[in-house]
């Protein structure tokens, strides 16, 4: 239930900022937020709803695409997207979470790496780079 509320809060925030951008004449923010709102609506398709993790992954995908363009407008849009993205987890925080997952689920070998990554992404998906997470898992298990 909490995830649905957070999703609704994020969608409400986007809607409110669309109105604010319209009033302020901020065309870059307005266009980006309209595209985001449209993409969320398209993915939800009336019968499915995106949870917070899925919305965060969508925002990260937009950010990654904008980074490949690398012009002034895309840099402005990246700054706007970063307002919606969670603060990336530090390596220490990732390590603590991974250790907790390992202890809780009694994982002990590299064969459990996929399970550990899956458990991590269920709870913290989009908050850390998966490459860094896998490096931490390898470091702990070896």
Over residues 18-29, the pLDDT tens digits come to 999 999 999 999
| CATH code (residue 31) | 1.10.1510
| pLDDT for 8 | 65
| CATH code (residue 136) | 1.10.10
Mean pLDDT of the chain: 87
| pLDDT for 1 | 35
Tokens of 63: 């950010």
Sign, CA torsion 122/128/129/130: negative
Cα 29 from Cα 118, distance rounded (Å): 34
Are 78 and 117 part of one and the same domain? no
Are 120 and 55 part of one and the same domain? no
E strand segments, the chain: none
Residue 2 has pLDDT above 50, yes or no: no
Domain end residue (candidates: 68, 84, 100): 84
The total of other beta-carbon atoms located within 10 Å of residue 128's CB is 21
Express as a percent the part of the chain with pLDDT over 90.
54
Are 7 and 76 part of one and the same domain? yes
**Local confidence band at 4 (pLDDT 50, 70, 90 cut-offs):** very low
Are 16 and 43 part of one and the same domain? yes
| pLDDT for 10 | 80
Range of the domain at 114: 91-141
Higher local confidence (pLDDT), 6 or 39? 39
Residue 7 has pLDDT above 80, yes or no: no
Over residues 59-115, the pLDDT tens digits come to 989 998 999 988 999 999 999 999 988 888 999 999 999 999 999 999 988 999 999
CB–CB of 40/50 below 8 Å?
Answer: yes
Residue 128 has pLDDT above 60, yes or no: yes
Q: DSSP readout, 43-56?
A: HHTTT----HHHHH
Are 58 and 8 part of one and the same domain? yes
Are 112 and 78 part of one and the same domain? no
**Local confidence band at 119 (pLDDT 50, 70, 90 cut-offs):** very high
Are 66 and 101 part of one and the same domain? no
How many independent structural domains does the chain possess?
A: 2
Are 11 and 62 part of one and the same domain? yes
């Amino acid at each position: 239930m909490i995830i649905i509320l957070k999703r609704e809060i994020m969608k409400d925030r986007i809607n409110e900022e669309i109105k604010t951008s319209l009033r302020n004449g901020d065309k870059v923010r307005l266009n980006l937020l309209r595209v985001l709102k449209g993409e969320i609506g398209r993915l939800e398709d009336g019968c499915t709803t995106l949870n917070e993790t899925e919305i965060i992954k969508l925002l990260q995908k937009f950010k990654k695409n904008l980074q490949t363009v690398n012009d002034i407008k895309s840099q402005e849009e990246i700054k706007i997207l970063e307002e919606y993205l969670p603060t990336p987890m530090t390596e220490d925080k990732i390590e603590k979470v991974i250790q907790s997952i390992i202890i809780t689920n009694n994982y002990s070998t590299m064969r459990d790496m996929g399970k550990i990554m899956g458990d991590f992404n269920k709870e913290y998906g989009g908050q850390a780079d998966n490459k860094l997470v896998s490096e931490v898992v390898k470091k702990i298990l070896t």
